[in-house]
Amino acid sequence: MLYKSLNLQSPDVHFKKALTDGLASDKGLYFPKNIERLPTSFFEQIEDLDDDYICFKAIEQFIGDEIPEEILKQIVKETINFEFPIIPISSSIYSLELFHGPTLAFKDVGARFMSRCLAYFNREQPSQKNTILVATSGDTGGAVANGFLGVSGVNVVILYPQNKVSDIQERQLTTLGQNIKAVEVIGTFDDCQAMVKKAFLDEELQNLNLTSANSINVARWLPQMFYYFLTYKKLKKENKPLIFSVPSGNFGNSCAGIVAKKLGLPIRHIIAATNSNDTIPNYLEKGNFDVKPTIPTLSNAMDVSNPSNFVRIKALYNDDLQHLKAEFSSCSYNDEETVKGMKELFEQFKYVSEPHGAIGYLGLKNYLSNDSTSIGVFLATAHPVKFLDTVEKNLNIELEIPSSIQSILTLKKEKYTVKTYEELKKFLNS
Ligand SMILES: *Cc1c(COP(=O)(O)O)cnc(C)c1O
């Protein structure tokens, strides 16, 4: 499979280079040159196929022959080796829980797939070392750190803003050791991101082979389509058109759902539900792409005002906005509405959610009020315990701490603190 840059100013590359570059040299996002539909028979028989095989078939064409079939099958198997339960909420609404992986967030799926692919490529060239450099406002760091823990030839450096991630999130970054280094930045998430961008352009850091690990990276973005396939397999017997509602920030997850649809997966409609950072809902309604300053919200993993993956969504529809709007929509909910959604799920359906999942629920409920023939699934993207204070306070309950979190609560946080880019550079070179 070849990938082109969506800025069209740099050469086409294979999967391995798209993975190790992250972003093309012209700063464009990599995008598959062509996507081939899977045969109809695959979807007809899907209930009889096993999960590993289904996901392997979904991703196979995007890797091409760069990873041998048996190894790719093993990578897929390890990527999805935890549960993806589908919880019925009402007669037409389900919650797809994506938070049963090691760091309790859906980003585990992409991070596990990417780390294993990179480990395979490094095995070919043992002298090659890579440094994964990421900025995190919360969930990305933990998932990436966990996914890459112990992968030989790869160092991971995670930048996070001091005092701006939750205690649990900080522990997930700072207690792993081995090849994972946590760097606390005296500043904001934007400062962290600015340092990462600067490092990628810094000639003096070329020897580190810096690689990104956010959803801009094709190896983190594409495996996110797996759970759309697995959900269809489980709900096919309902024999009704299927809607997905995806709590969205950078729009990588919803974009992966559209790729699944391109592959032939019968999805009637995808909703990208956002918090108050409503650039895309506004754009689809009014036609102007107006990026406002990012607003901090309760669903902080979605505090993104210029979603990087939206260009990929447009590309999947060949920039045909009418076609796009027939199959994809976006809506926005503020914090007050989010809390109301959480309370409604709890009081009416005895279901404990956190702010991100609740926004997915609200988007779905709104859509289904005009469509009584479909069933819908909202993606529960994080475990409620990751947003402990918000959940306990608003639902007036006490959450049980899962054992995976309990075990890190007593470990010592190991971190390096920097204030300036020069300090970061000194650390990276040490
Ligand atoms: C990252 C994240 C999102 C947003 O996903 P995108 O792919 O960036 O749209 C939603 N919920 C949670 C909990 C997240 O960590």
Distance from the CA of 303 to the center of ligand 1, in angstroms?
A: 9
Residue nearest to atom 2 of ligand 1 (CA): 301
How many helices (H) and strands (E) the chain has is answered by 19, 14
Ligand 1 pocket, residues with Cβ under 6 angstroms: 105, 107, 139, 215, 247-253, 301-302, 356, 381-382
Q: Name all domains of the chain by residue range, CATH numbers in brackets.
A: 82-105+221-399 (3.40.50.1100)
275-286 residue pLDDT tens: 999 999 999 999
Alpha helices in 64-188 (DSSP H): 69-79, 107-124, 139-148, 167-174
Q: Between 198 and 126, where is the model more confident?
A: 198
Mutate to test the pocket of ligand 1, among 169, 193, 328, 356 (most ligand atoms within 8 A of CB): 356
Number of CB atoms found within 10 A of residue 367's CB: 18
Mean pLDDT of the chain: 94
Contact (Cβ atoms closer than 8 angstroms) between residue 242 and residue 375: yes
What is the SS3 assignment for 38? coil
- Beta-strand runs (E) in 371-425: 375-380, 416-418
Distance from the CA of 11 to the center of ligand 1, in angstroms?
A: 30
Share of the chain above pLDDT 70, in %: 99
206-247 residue pLDDT tens: 899 998 888 889 999 999 999 999 999 999 999 999 999 999
CA dist 172 and 145 (Å) reads: 8
Contacts of 221 (CB under 8 A, 6+ apart): 110, 215, 252, 255, 256, 309, 312
Distance from the CA of 379 to the center of ligand 1, in angstroms?
A: 10
**Please, which residues bridge with residue 3 across strands?**
13, 32
CA dist 77 and 55 (Å) reads: 9
Contacts of 153 (CB under 8 A, 6+ apart): 119, 122, 126, 128, 129, 130
**Residue 247 alpha carbon, nearest atom of ligand 1:** 10
Q: What is the pLDDT of residue 379?
A: 98
Share of the chain above pLDDT 90, in %: 80
> Has residue 124 got a pLDDT over 70?
no
**Residue 357 alpha carbon, nearest atom of ligand 1:** 11
Residue nearest to atom 11 of ligand 1 (CA): 381
